[in-house]
Amino acid sequence: MGSSEQKTSWNLIVNALERYNKATPSCSPNAFWVIGAPGSGKNCLMCRVIMDSVSRFDNLVPLRLPIMDLVKRTDQMPERDQSSVQTWFDKYMRILFGEDTPRYKMMKMAIAMRRALLLFEGLDAAGSVTEAVKLLIQGFVKDGHFVLMTSRTAGIAEHLVVMEMQFLTDEQKRAIANQRLGPQGLQSFNAFIKKIRGERGEEANGPEDRSEDIFGNPMMLSMLLCYLSPKENEMPERKRSSTSEDNSKVDLMAVYRVSVSVMCACPGTVERGSRGAAKPWRLKRMLLQQQADRHIKEDLLIECSRVLERAAMNMQAFMVRTGGDELTAI
């Protein structure tokens, strides 16, 4: 979504939220599918919808549903019919919120009363359960629920309004750079972009060539702003490429290295050497290790839950056979 289309598309979502909050009958759409490249802002849009629903609307309950988590917690493939898919989704809700907990009952009631905002995140990660997820979403859409879904590519579009995240315009990029870096940083930003386009030459002048918009992607633009942000102890790559007088070739890999180091250099968490220099590689290693440990613990928890379920079923069968006498004696 870009420039004027962006405002129109966002207003379409906001108007749908207002109608849904007031339960106003309408023929306008309540289901939206947002597609876009990685880092284009799909998750930010989802977070904006959640924040607006919490702060502006009293009758709506946002329910964020990462498809990757849904796949991870699926132990048995559902049949390709609405009844089986709904049972499969209900089982996921019980696992997510807890069996018969107040949170689970609240979300079930919100869905039944059409007060829940169903926010499906990352349809691309559905994998083997893609058809089941599509049936689930189609069922919710046909029942009149508010549905917002994100993915990198388009697929099913029946009864959904499809929107696409567009690259930032030059005016938007300069406005963001000026806010983040100030007037002096904006000059460095303009000089850097000029170098990029100058080196690409005729390739960047084609009407369909989007290569010059590599920093039109919000994530890539954020990395560039980290690279250009002024620091007391600048890294060699930044010193070499940030000045407008430097005529050397622009090194995009230097942008990646510096920006990742800046984003990982969080005060109080990065180990520092004898001279006080930050060691972001240790933080990155620690984050990767924590992520791996978290996945291992989650898999272990799921496996333990399955073992307990089997043990409970065996115990119940044993009590039925023995009448509970032997179990009481034990």
Q: What is the pLDDT of residue 309?
A: 76
**What average pLDDT does range 178-188 have in this prediction?**
88
Q: What is the pLDDT of residue 233?
A: 45
Strand partners, 120: 65, 149
Which residue's entry shows tokens 């289309």? Answer: 5
- Residues 206-262: pLDDT tens digits? 444 444 567 888 888 888 888 787 654 454 444 444 444 455 555 666 666 666 665
Q: What is the pLDDT of residue 93?
A: 94
Looking at the chain, the whole-number percentage of residues with pLDDT higher than 90 is 28
**Average pLDDT score, the chain:** 77
Domain extents in the chain: 3-164, 170-264, 282-329
For residues 114 and 145, is the Cβ–Cβ distance under 8 A? yes
Selected residue with higher pLDDT from 69 and 210 = 69
- Residues 211-226: pLDDT tens digits? 456 788 888 888 888 8
- Residues 265-296: pLDDT tens digits? 544 444 444 444 445 555 556 555 665 666 67
Gap between the Cα atoms of 62 and 60, Å rounded: 6
pLDDT beyond 60 at 36: yes
Gap between the Cα atoms of 148 and 150, Å rounded: 7
* Beta strands in the chain, from DSSP E residues, in sequence order: 31-35, 61-66, 116-121, 146-151, 161-164, 271-272, 278-279
Selected residue with higher pLDDT from 6 and 30 = 30
Provide DSSP, 163-227.
EEPPPPPHHHHHHHHHHHHHHHHHHHHHHHHHHHHHHHGGGGGSTT--GGGGGGSHHHHHHHHHH
Looking at the chain, the whole-number percentage of residues with pLDDT higher than 70 is 69
Which of the residue ranges 43-47, 128-132, 244-248 would you say has the lowest mean pLDDT? 244-248
For residues 34 and 165, is the Cβ–Cβ distance under 8 A? yes
Which residues, 6+ apart, have CB-to-CB distance to 60 below 8 Å? 17, 20, 21, 53, 115, 116, 117, 146
- 258 burial (CB, 10 Å; 0-12 / 13-18 / 19+) is buried
Q: What is the pLDDT of residue 295?
A: 64
Selected residue with higher pLDDT from 97 and 285 = 97
Query: Residue 114's pLDDT band (boundaries 50, 70, 90)?
Result: very high
Which of the residue ranges 78-92, 101-115, 242-256 would you say has the lowest mean pLDDT? 242-256
- 35 burial (CB, 10 Å; 0-12 / 13-18 / 19+) is buried
Query: Residue 145's pLDDT band (boundaries 50, 70, 90)?
Result: very high
Gap between the Cα atoms of 162 and 31, Å rounded: 9
Which of the residue ranges 17-31, 103-117, 229-243 would you say has the lowest mean pLDDT? 229-243
For residues 30 and 24, is the Cβ–Cβ distance under 8 A? no
Three-class secondary structure of residue 276 per DSSP: coil
Tokens matching residue 75? 């132990």
Q: Which residues of 269-305 are buried (b: 16+ CB within 10 A; e: fewer)?
A: ebeeeeeeebebeebeeeeeeeeeeeeeeeeeeeeee
* Beta strands in 100-145, from DSSP E residues, in sequence order: 116-121
Calculate the CA dihedral of residues 146, 149, 155, 156 and round it to 10 degrees: -10
Q: What is the pLDDT of residue 211?
A: 42
Q: What is the pLDDT of residue 278?
A: 43
Selected residue with higher pLDDT from 178 and 202 = 178
Exposure of 84 in the CB half-sphere (CA atoms within 13 A): 11
Pairing of strands 278-279, 271-272: antiparallel
Q: What is the pLDDT of residue 148?
A: 94
The highest-level CATH class for domain 3-164 is alpha beta
